[in-house]
Copies of this chain bind each other. A is one copy, B any other.
């Protein structure tokens, strides 16, 4: 069984990538995940300036899902250089960036390339950061301009991470493809809220947050399925993957690789476990490569 897969020109040892925002604020955090069996790690989404993110409370886990509103905390692109270099020395790192204009995106992406990123991931999808994320990522024209600007600025592959909080996901996917984007990552979290009745107010300091974990998997699989039927660039699936069968849902829906976030709660060995499960499954069901499984659910 061969777990290797490729996202366009980028070849990965296995399909499992660390999702952005998970243990990746520091270079050593990413390095550890790379040692734990992930084929690559996506960095924390980094902006131009240092950002402490939203105040606590900004995270809660419930049965079946997590809600977070970290608010994109990061030390700023300048300071992040060291973290990227530490991580990139240990394996493949994808630099995630957020910005509010095409120029700023292009600038940040260029820095990530300089720092040794093997690809850049554009955060067009965070649901709880005013002026960023899905606020720029639900306008197909804006998305097109951002992707074009970044494509002009870097020579590494450009991935666009999209939001499921829209009825025009296919249009946005098309915009990415039209602008020359190299891959689409889907999904980011669902815009959500938790209220504490005893206090009569929202739990998260930011009120709104993003839903992740098992609960969003059926939405993510659907999004990947929808995109696969619309674009021909590679798709990376993410959202609620907790085991190999979840990863297979995404792969069969059309993803050539997957990202794992919330399931790191169950341990950093999740990457090894998923890869082990995939190997056994492929042996039992006669799939020689990951590629043979990509998109089969469309047949």
Asked whether B297 lies within 8 Å of A191 as measured between CB atoms, the reply is no
Pairwise interchain contact A215-B65, C-beta atoms closer than 8 A: yes
A36 within 8 A of B: no
1/0 contact trace for A262-294 toward B, CB 8 Å? 000000000000000000010001000000010
Question: How many chain copies?
Answer: 2
For residue A115, CB closer than 8 A to chain B, the reply is: no
* Contact partner, A219, options B138, B190, B225, B252, Cβ 8 Å: B190
Bitwise interface map of A from 183 to 213 toward B, beta carbon under 8 Å scored 1, else 0: 0000000111111011011100001110100
* A200, B293: Cα distance in complex, Å: 8
Query: Which of B64, B201, B296 contacts A64, CB < 8 Å?
Result: B64
Contacts of A190 in B (CB 8 A): 190, 218-219
Interface residues of A in 211-256 (CB under 8 A from B): 211, 214-216, 218-219, 221-222, 225, 245, 248-249, 252-253
B211 and A219 within 8 A (CB): yes
- Taken together as a complex, chains A and B put the C-alpha atoms of A238 and B177 apart, in Å, by 36
Residue of B nearest to A249 (CB): B195
Partner of A225, one of B193, B245, B299: B193
Contact assessment for A200 and B297 in the assembled complex, using a CB-CB cutoff below 8 Å:
yes
Q: Given the interface contacts A252-B200, A297-B200, A297-B201, does A193 sit within 8 Å of B166 by beta carbon? A: no
Taking the complex as formed, is A134 at the interface, i.e. its CB lies under 8 A from any CB of chain B?
yes
Interface residues on A, range: 35 or more
Let me know if A67 is at the binding interface, CB within 8 A. yes
Q: Does A63 contact B (CB under 8 A)?
A: yes
A294 CB to closest chain B CB (Å) equals: 11
Question: Which residues from chain B contact A219 at a C-beta distance below 8 Å?
Answer: 190-192, 211
A198, B64: Cβ atoms under 8 Å? no
A165 close to chain B: CB less than 8 A = yes
CA A165 to CA B187, docked complex, whole Å? 13
| Residue from B197, B215, B248, B252 in contact with A249 in the complex, judged by beta carbons closer than 8 Å | B197
A50 to B195, CA, bound (A): 41
A219: min CB distance to chain B, Å? 5
Q: Do the beta carbons of A222 and B198 come within 8 Å of each other?
A: no
A-B contacts, 27 of them at CB < 8 A, read A64-B215, A65-B215, A165-B167, A166-B166, A167-B167, A190-B190, A192-B219, A192-B221, A192-B222, A193-B218, A193-B225, A194-B218, A194-B249, A195-B221, A195-B225, A195-B249, A195-B297, A198-B285, A200-B252, A200-B296, A200-B297, A201-B252, A202-B225, A208-B222, A208-B225, A215-B215, A215-B216
Q: Which 7 A-B pairs have the closest CB atoms?
A: A64-B64, A215-B215, A192-B218, A197-B248, A193-B222, A166-B167, A195-B249
